[in-house]
């Protein structure tokens, strides 16, 4: 049974459209963001969700609390900080965290929450801002199986492919593997487009032809056109993929055994040094190639 009272904390590029999709299912949502000057917050208000000024206002009557934040310190601050969730959330409420914080981070937070009688599910997502807007996200969930069944109806409001991966931290473990694939897809995409340029082939032809065959991918279909049009607006920022690759390396036994990951990290780091590129979308990796090759 769906509880009508929920909270959503973190109204960024992903969190805002996810909140909108939840609101469209007639939920009573109290939402909170650290800053209230983001242009997309107007869409959240128009959807019927109520943006409040404090975490306390958002969570005090919510049994389901969604968080969608940046990094481990952000999640820990929102949950355990001086004005955090644990001070105001009802006992036995459940936090569903859509952030990417790694399996170790998720397990540590879940363990700490036990003393506060609050449940925790890690539920990182994939699909970018496009998936968030369309409600077609892939969601990888870790935690208690019974808790998963409780939150699944909500996840179906924001996602299309929802998978229970196992105990707490398992969703994050799968997400880190997903980020490896996404990072290396971007390397392949950039190099294919550069090779097309070298051969004086229209890069749009690469998208049209290759996306229908064995080389097809989400990145080729959705991000190649942005690269071609020099559109580097973020659906997923370079700073976030660098954070995710840092988390990947934290669970590696031997980083030297992963040359592809090391290359992707090197290229993203290189582009992050360019003006404003740190806050651009991952498709801005192409700048590492154009900087070298023109």
So which residues are the catalytic ones?
175
At 58 the three-state DSSP class reads helix
First to last CA, the chain: 57
State the Cα–Cα distance between residues 255 and 126, nearest whole angstrom: 24
Which residues are bridge partners to 166 per DSSP?
142
For 27, 28, 245, the CA distances from 24, given in Å and listed in that order, are 7, 10, 34
Task: Report the DSSP pairing between strands 125-126 and 137-142.
Answer: antiparallel
Are 7 and 62 in contact by the 8 Å Cβ rule? The answer is: yes
Which residues are bridge partners to 65 per DSSP?
7, 95
Are 176 and 251 in contact by the 8 Å Cβ rule? The answer is: yes
At 36 the three-state DSSP class reads coil
């Amino acid at each position: 049974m769906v509880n009508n009272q929920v909270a959503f904390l973190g109204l960024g590029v992903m969190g805002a459209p996810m909140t909108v999709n939840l609101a469209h299912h007639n939920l009573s949502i109290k939402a909170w963001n650290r800053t209230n000057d983001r242009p997309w917050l107007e869409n959240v208000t128009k959807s019927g969700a109520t943006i409040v000024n404090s975490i306390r206002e958002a969570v005090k009557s919510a049994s389901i609390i969604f968080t969608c934040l940046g990094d481990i310190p952000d999640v820990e601050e929102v949950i355990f900080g001086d004005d955090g969730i644990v001070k105001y959330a009802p006992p036995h409420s459940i936090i569903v965290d859509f952030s990417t914080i790694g399996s170790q981070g998720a397990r540590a937070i879940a363990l700490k929450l036990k003393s506060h009688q609050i449940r925790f599910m890690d539920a990182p997502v994939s699909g970018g801002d496009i998936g968030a807007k369309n409600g077609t996200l892939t969601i990888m969930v870790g935690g208690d199986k019974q808790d998963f069944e409780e939150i699944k109806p909500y996840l179906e409001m924001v996602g299309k492919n929802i998978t229970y991966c196992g105990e707490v931290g398992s969703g994050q473990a799968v997400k880190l593997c997903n980020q490896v694939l996404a990072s290396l897809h971007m390397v392949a995409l950039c190099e294919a487009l550069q090779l097309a340029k070298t051969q004086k082939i229209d890069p749009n032809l690469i998208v049209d032809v290759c996306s229908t065959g064995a080389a097809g991918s989400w990145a080729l279909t959705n991000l190649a056109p942005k690269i071609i049009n020099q559109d580097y607006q973020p659906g997923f920022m370079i700073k976030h993929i660098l954070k995710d690759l840092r988390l990947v390396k934290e669970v590696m036994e031997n980083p030297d055994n992963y040359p592809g990951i090391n290359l992707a990290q090197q290229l993203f780091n290189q582009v992050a040094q360019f003006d404003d590129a740190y806050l651009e979308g991952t498709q801005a990796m192409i700048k590492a190639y154009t900087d070298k090759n023109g």
